Structure 1
Amino acid sequence: MILLSFDIEEFDLPRENGVEYSLREGMEVSVEGTNLILDVLKENDVRATFFCTGNFAMNAPDVMRRIMDEGHEVACHGVDHFEPHETDFELSKQMIEDVCGIEAVGYRQPRMFPVIESEIKKAGYWYNSSLNPAFIPGRYMNLSTPRTWFMKDGVMQIPSSVTPILRFPLFWLSLHNLPEKLYHMLVRRVLKKDGYFVTYFHPWEFYELKEHPEFKASFVIKRNSGSAMVKRLDNLVKMLKKEGHEFMTYKEFVELKKGI
């Protein structure tokens, strides 16, 4: 089982690097990237889960409609990606549901920051996918948390996949920088061990970041961005499909594991 997901947010990387960048500019980058992602998924006939900020949904209703029309799940990713708050759980859900006309049952906190599961449950979510169970200096220190899905305070926790034992992360940055054959090999190892694979990407990774030095993006982020990342995503999906793996949304995964 493949749980492929995308954090659909307003592009705020320049702001993280001290560069003034407006919401309008950030939306232009992310809308372009999201449509490129959707093109790859449509070509390969696979479905994914899109964790969307309230800002993105309110400013790109046509893209949200395309996501749903093409059979993908819409989940919540806070309100403002640059300034996330623990109190965004309910507002994020309300904004997504108002724009999309659906019930949003999943949540992922911007930048995979910690959340309070009891508050997640109170807001009406079935699952939380805000955990990268790896050690990444300056970002995550989660070596003592479970690698695979578990229940906490009545909410299913769906961590991003990491390799067994060493817990090497297999999220977006790994596909940018590892040789593709090595990345694919590590994905197969996780599938053999866990029976499923969870990963996530962002729309701005599919934008030609190398052409914009003013963003002050680091080399590891710019590497294989844009058209190169489109190709890498396409290659990954094709490899997984060829090997007979089923793609499903996070909601479907929860329903399967809980027998809903």
Structure 2
Amino acid sequence: MKKMILLSFDTEEFDVPREHGVDFSLEEGMAVSREGTNRILDVLKANNVKATFFCTGNFARLAPDVMQRIMREGHEVACHGVDHWQPKGTDFVESKKIVEEVTGITVYGYRQPRMFPVIEEEIRKAGYRYNSSLNPAFIPGRYMHLTSPRRPFMKDGVLQIPASVTPWVRFPLFWLALHNLPQWLYHMLVKRTLNHDGHFVTYFHPWEFYDLKEHPEFKMPFIIKNHSGRQMMERLDSLIKMLKRGGHEFITYTDYTNRFNS
């Protein structure tokens, strides 16, 4: 039976070195993310699949040419705050304004930086139809969501689209898992989750597709830079090909929202 794949990318300025005490400018972060986004787009184009790009206001404003490529190649643009390093309570409104001004389109989806909580009623008032800011995983110190819904649900008039985790132990199937698990094991967990849920929701970041191991000055932890750059392109390509062999359908988050509400 054909199942739905919701592939997404948090298209933000690279700021992870700042988490490790490195003085890292917005311009440096944008250079990394621009290259990573174009590498992602190359993989998606080669496989003829569509995805959703959750873009910060900074990225949209500073990389309008990349934004145009995202749209030109048939992908969805959604919002991901304004400044990834310094999120504010009003970002969901301001990011929508910036991204829509840059792209000339209406944006329907939102994801909060670092998957932090948002107020759904305010998201609805801002004009969003879906929110994908929930990772219902159990990761001590990061995501303590043992009782949060694993599957999409409506709340305050907004469709909540959680990231996929395995059905029982809530093992997260997001970017870090693809970096560090053997590919056969990651693929097996994805297939089991797909069979259980009927859909698969995951997300990555442009900077993962940059050659982080060539830059020790970034002071990146091993689990982040492991299999980064060209290796991550190969891993994404392999994941997409595996899912296509299963006959599954790659759709945007807005397409999924339309089907959920129909």
* 1:2 paired to 2:5: yes
Supply the distance in 2 between the matched residues of 1:143 and 1:64 (Cα, whole angstroms).
36
Name the structure 1 match of 2:123: 120
Aligned partner of 2:253 among 250, 255, 260: 250
Aligned partner of 2:162 among 155, 159, 164: 159
SS of aligned partner of 1:115: coil
Supply the distance in 2 between the matched residues of 1:65 and 1:214 (Cα, whole angstroms).
32
What amino acid does structure 2 have at the position aligned with 1:108? R
Q: What does the per-residue CA deviation read over 1:78-107, in whole Å, with 9 as the maximum and x for residues that have no partner?
A: 000001112111100000000000000000
Q: What does the per-residue CA deviation read over 1:160-186, in whole Å, with 9 as the maximum and x for residues that have no partner?
A: 000001100000000000000000000
Name the structure 1 match of 2:137: 134
| Percent sequence identity over aligned pairs | 71
Q: CA deviation at 1:148?
A: 0.5
Q: CA deviation at 1:50?
A: 0.1
SS of aligned partner of 1:96: helix
Structure 1: runs of 5+ lacking an equivalent: none
Runs of 4+ residues deviating >4 angstroms: none
What amino acid does structure 1 have at the position aligned with 2:181? L
Q: What does the per-residue CA deviation read over 1:180-214, in whole Å, with 9 as the maximum and x for residues that have no partner?
A: 00000000001100000000000000011111111
What amino acid does structure 1 have at the position aligned with 2:33? S
Name the structure 2 match of 1:107: 110
What is the root-mean-square deviation of aligned Cα atoms in Å?
Answer: 0.5
What amino acid does structure 1 have at the position aligned with 2:232? M
Name the structure 1 match of 2:49: 46
Supply the distance in 2 between the matched residues of 1:94 and 1:231 (Cα, whole angstroms).
35
What amino acid does structure 1 have at the position aligned with 2:249? E
* 1:33 paired to 2:49: no
Aligned 1:1-260 pairs, distance under 5 A: 1-259=4-262
Q: CA deviation at 1:26?
A: 0.5
What amino acid does structure 2 have at the position aligned with 1:195? G
What amino acid does structure 2 have at the position aligned with 1:24? E
SS of aligned partner of 2:36: helix
Q: CA deviation at 1:18?
A: 1.2
Supply the distance in 1 between the matched residues of 2:193 and 2:157 (Cα, whole angstroms).
26
Q: CA deviation at 1:115?
A: 0.5
Structure 2: runs of 5+ lacking an equivalent: none
Q: CA deviation at 1:2?
A: 0.1
SS of aligned partner of 1:3: strand
SS of aligned partner of 2:249: coil
SS of aligned partner of 1:231: helix
Q: CA deviation at 1:151?
A: 0.6
> More displaced, 10-19 or 97-106?
10-19
Q: CA deviation at 1:12?
A: 0.3
Q: What does the per-residue CA deviation read over 1:210-229, in whole Å, with 9 as the maximum and x for residues that have no partner?
A: 11111111010011111110
Q: CA deviation at 1:13?
A: 0.7
Q: Structure 1 length as normaliser, TM-score?
A: 0.99
Supply the distance in 2 between the matched residues of 1:20 and 1:91 (Cα, whole angstroms).
26
Supply the distance in 1 between the matched residues of 2:188 and 2:168 (Cα, whole angstroms).
15
Supply the distance in 1 between the matched residues of 2:169 and 2:199 (Cα, whole angstroms).
18
SS of aligned partner of 2:70: helix
Q: What does the per-residue CA deviation read over 1:33-74, in whole Å, with 9 as the maximum and x for residues that have no partner?
A: 000000000000000000000000000000000000000000
